[in-house]
Amino acid sequence: MIRVEHLCKRFGDLMVLKDINAEIRRGQVISIIGPSGTGKSTFLRCLNLLDQPSGGRIEIDGEDILAPKANVPALRRRMGTVFQSFNLFSHLTVLENLTIGPIRLLGKPPAQAATTGLELLRMVGLAEKAHSLPDEISGGQKQRVAIARCLSMEPEIILIDEPISALDPTMVSEVLAVIRRLARQGMTMAIVTHEMEFARDVSTRVFYLDEGLIYEEGPPERIFDHPQRQRDRDFIGKVRSLSYHVTTADYDPYALVGKIEGFCEKHLIPHRIAHAAQLLAEEVLGVLLTPLAPPRAVPTGQIVASSALAGTASTGPPLTVKVTASPAPSGPTHPDIELVLAFSEKQRSLEPRLDGAGPPGNPLETANLPDDFALNLIRHYAADIGYERVGERNRLRMRVQSIAGREAVAPIPLVRQCGAGLGGGHELDSATDGDPTEPDRFGRLARRTPATGMTPHQRLSS
C-alpha cells in the first residue's frame, strides 16, 4: 500500500531522517518506536506531506505522491492523522468537529455526516458528549474524539502520533482500547508510541528508529524478545543516556567524575557503587592511553566473554553514561573510545562497556603497563570482564558487583576466554594470582598511573 524509498528530511543543517526504506501493506499495524528525537513523528509527517521530504520517494498504491503532477490533496485524504495534541476546534461541538470535514471536503449532506458522526462517537463510547464543547471533556475523551474525527474522513490508513503522551495515566487505557478495536477490524495503521506492551500486543510489525534510520524491523516477538542489535536491546530496556566526549589524552577527569556522580545520585545508586564506577572508568581509560605492546592477533568476529555475560541478557532497564574519544590516525594519545555505563534497575547492577578502535587484541592484555596495579584494580571492582573483536574495533564488557549484593567483592578472574573456534578457554589471571591493592578506609588507592601521573584519589577526590 505504501512504499518508502531512501526518504530523507533535513531541517537546515540537521539531518533528521537519513535513508528510510519501508513498506506498509494493507491491513498491517506498524508500531514505530525509538528514542526521543530520532525522527519518528517527522517520518509520519513526511508520509502525509505535512513536512515536505528533502529527498526520496513515497508511493501510495504505486503512485508517487512527491511527483510534480501528483494530486496531493486527494492522496492526503486517503491518510488520516491523529495528533498527540488532539487539535480539535474549540469553538465547535464534539459532533461538529466530526462533520465539518465530510461536509466541506467530501461533499456529504449535513444529515448524512451527522448520522455517521454519531455512529463513530458510539464506537468510541462518546455519543453522550456529542453536543459538548472540547473544553468540557477530559483529555482521554478528546483523544477518542480525535480518532473518531479521523475515521469520519474514511481514510485507508491512519497515522497516529503518540496518542497518549499528553494524557493522565488514568486515561491511557480508554484510548488504547479504541486503537486495539480498530486493529481487530483490519484498519491499516502506523503508530508512534512509547508504550512497549501496547506495541507488542497490537502490532503486525515494529520499526525501531535510531540515528535517522529504521535501525531494526520485524515482528514484535523478535523485536521485543530477541532484538538483534545493541541499540535496540538497550532501548527495549528503557535506556537513558548521558554523553561525555574526550578529545585528548589530557581529558578532564574531574568533569568525567562529576558526570558519573551526578548520574548515580539522580538514579539513587549507592555511593560505593558510584565510586567503583568512577574508578573503573578512569582506570580503563588509563590502560588504553598507555603505549601499546605488540598486539596479539584475534580474528574478527571471535568472542571472548565471561560466563556471566556470554549466556544471559540484561533483563532490567539500563541507564547509560557514554564517554567518547575523538578518532585520530595514530598513537594512543588520540583514542577512538566509547565507554558506556549501563545501569539495570531490575538487577541492581552496573555494566561498563568499552568499545574502541585499534589493532586486534584484548587491550587489557596488549597494554604495555609497568605493573599489574591497574589490572588488579579493575579486577577488584569488576565482577566479570569479557572481550570480543567486532569489525575493526575491540569491545570490552564488565559488570560491577551487584548493588544489592555484598559490600566487598572477592578477587575474580580478570578475563575468561570462551566460545567456538577459540581453541579452548584460558584465563589471563586466576582468582588467586595477585590480590588487588587494598583501598584505605576511604576506599582510595595510593599509586600513580602512567596515564596521568596522579593517584586515583588525587584524580577523583581532590
What domains can be seen in the chain, in order of their start residue? 2-228 (3.40.50.300), 240-461 (no CATH)
DSSP 3-state of 222: helix
Q: What is the rounded distance in angstroms from the CA atom of residue 205 to the CA atom of residue 191? A: 11
Q: By the 8 A CB rule, do 205 and 30 touch?
A: yes
Cβ-contact 436, 411 below 8 angstroms: yes
pLDDT in tens, 154-166: 999 999 998 887 7
Q: What percentage of residues in the chain have a pLDDT greater than 70? A: 74
Rounded to an integer, the average pLDDT of 184-198 is 90
Mean pLDDT within 354-383: 85
How far apart CA 262 and CA 437 sit, in angstroms, is 27
Residue type, 86: F
Confidence of residue 353 (pLDDT cuts 50, 70, 90): confident
How confident is residue 291, by pLDDT bands cut at 50, 70 and 90? low
φ/ψ region of 210 (left if φ > 0, alpha if ψ in -120 to 50, else beta) reads beta
- 278-302 burial: b if 16+ Cβ within 10 Å, else e: bbbbbbbbbbbbbeeeeeeebeeeb
The dihedral over CA atoms of 104, 119, 77, 62, expressed in degrees to the nearest 10, equals -150
- DSSP letter for each residue of 286-327: HHHTSPBPPPPP--TT-EE--HHHHS----S-EEEEEEEE--
d(CA 454, CA 447): 7
* 2-8: average pLDDT: 93
What is the rounded distance in angstroms from the CA atom of residue 279 to the CA atom of residue 182?
A: 53
The three cell numbers locating residue 32: 514505530
Residue 74: predicted pLDDT: 83
pLDDT at 43: 93
The pLDDT confidence band at residue 451, using thresholds 50, 70 and 90, is: very low
* pLDDT classification of 235: cutoffs 50, 70, 90: confident
Helix (H, G, I), strand (E, B), or coil: what is residue 237? coil
What is the distance between the alpha carbons of residues 309 and 397, in angstroms, rounded to a whole number?
A: 8
Higher pLDDT, 455 or 364: 364
121 to 97, 99, 116, 129: CA distances (angstroms): 11, 11, 9, 8
Contact 431, 413 (CB under 8 A): yes
**429: pLDDT confidence band, cut at 50, 70 and 90?**
very low
Whether pLDDT at 201 is above 50: yes
